[in-house]
Amino acid sequence: LGSIGPAMRHIQARFVDEAGVPRGPGEEGELMVSGPQMASAYLSEGGRLDPIPQNGFRTGDLGHMDADGYIFLTGRRKDLIIRGGVNIAPMEITTVLLTHAAVAEAATIGVPDAVYGEAVVSFVAARAGQRVTPAEMLAHCRTRLSGFKVPEHVIVLDAIPKNDRGKVARDALEALW
């Protein structure tokens, strides 16, 4: 929750839309960074050097910047749920679930939906000695999220599955769904 702070010294950070047009304060976009200290190229397959564009590098992070230059991250472009043509950042929903006092872990994914393309499904694990119900989690979300972002389903687990790097195992969640 909250800002990750302003950009580091000597880094130019801005948010842009899909066409690369800068977004204003508070407007959601993809984080683009540039600056003299950045690498000039990436080493690709076969030893080829792919230059980093001079106008900046798209990070894949979604969010916005406030009028004071503080950066707020809301998700990753590759994780977006596209529901009826609307982009939904799973991290925003997960963050809301984590504000509930009884929730220790949470994760949100998109699953196939015959009408809207994707549906929002969240998974939660309670803190030790606590108990949560799907209905309680949905009520919590309804008071903090726009209606189209509220999960269709909340599934309570003992623990959120992780991969060998400790990150949420999205494929395991999809299998549980």
Which stretches does DSSP call E strand in the chain? 5-6, 12-16, 29-34, 41-43, 49-51, 57-65, 70-76, 81-83, 86-88, 103-113, 117-126, 153-157
Give pLDDT, residue 54. 79
Give pLDDT, residue 79. 82
Give pLDDT, residue 41. 85
Backbone angles phi and psi of 82, in degrees to 5: -110, 105
Report the run of H or E that residue 148 belongs to, with start and end. Answer: none
Backbone angles phi and psi of 8, in degrees to 5: -65, 155
Give pLDDT, residue 1. 67
Q: What SS3 state is found at 109?
A: strand
Q: What SS3 state is found at 73?
A: strand
Q: How many CA atoms lie within 13 A of 56 on its CB side?
A: 17
Reported as a single tens digit per residue, the pLDDT across 124-171 is 999 999 999 999 999 999 999 999 999 999 999 999 999 999 889 989
Contact 125, 160 (CB under 8 A): yes
Q: What SS3 state is found at 17?
A: coil
How many residues would you count in the chain?
177
- How many CB atoms neighbour CB 4 within 10 A? 11
Angstrom distance (rounded) from CA 69 to CA 12: 11
Of 131 and 38, the structure prediction assigns the larger pLDDT to 131
Of 38 and 86, the structure prediction assigns the larger pLDDT to 86
Q: What SS3 state is found at 135?
A: helix
Q: Report whether pLDDT(76) > 70.
A: yes
Reported as a single tens digit per residue, the pLDDT across 89-122 is 898 999 999 999 999 999 999 999 999 999 999 9
Tell me which amino acid residue 29 is. Answer: G
